[in-house]
Amino acid sequence: MKFKLLAIALATLVGVQAQTNPRDKKVETTVRTIKVTDNGKTVERKIMVRTSESQEVMTNPAKKGTIDADRVFPPTKVETVIYIDNDDDPFYDGNSEIAYYEKDGMRFDFKMTNSGFNFMNSNSDMKGRARITNNSDVYLINTDSYSGIGYFEGDSFVVEYYDEDGVLTIERFNRTK
């Protein structure tokens, strides 16, 4: 009898333990050593790039509450953090977080700064800056071709601005995998 109770308690504990992680996550870390000339002296610097892919584990919302609900595969979230070591101590001195968004088939890098974030496309000259405002949901946007406001809406970053003809233009940057 004790064995049966122990087996049931163990099975319950394992079943509860399996459900605690709501995301499937894969992390890849790469460390490179580069040589940099600093004041005529060659020194080694370390750069560590940590890329994590995560995907929320979900079931079909239409079958909510049922036992046999099909699994739904939402978009994968990719985040890259770059750690930089500028001196000889064993600690990394700074980091930079990058998120990837897409607009009109072009990929944009959104890189965090102290005042918001910068966004740019490496294949074109399009780049801009988003600065934090007093309203934490709204950013001030400045690019070479326009100025406006931006905000996050679901998995998208939406930019609104008036063009030269006074027409409100809305651009949407969609989060990529």
Is residue 9 exposed (0-12), middle (13-18) or buried (19+ Cβ within 10 Å)?
exposed
User: Distance between CA 126 and CA 61 in Å, rounded?
Assistant: 39
Determine if the pTM surpasses 0.75: no
Task: Give pLDDT tens digits for 17-30.
Answer: 444 455 567 888 88
- Is the separation of the CB atoms in 58 and 23 below 8 Å? no
How far, in Å, CA of 47 to CA of 44, rounded?
A: 10
Closest CA to 43 of 81, 89, 94, 82: 89
- List pLDDT tens digits, range 53-77: 887 788 888 888 888 888 888 777 7
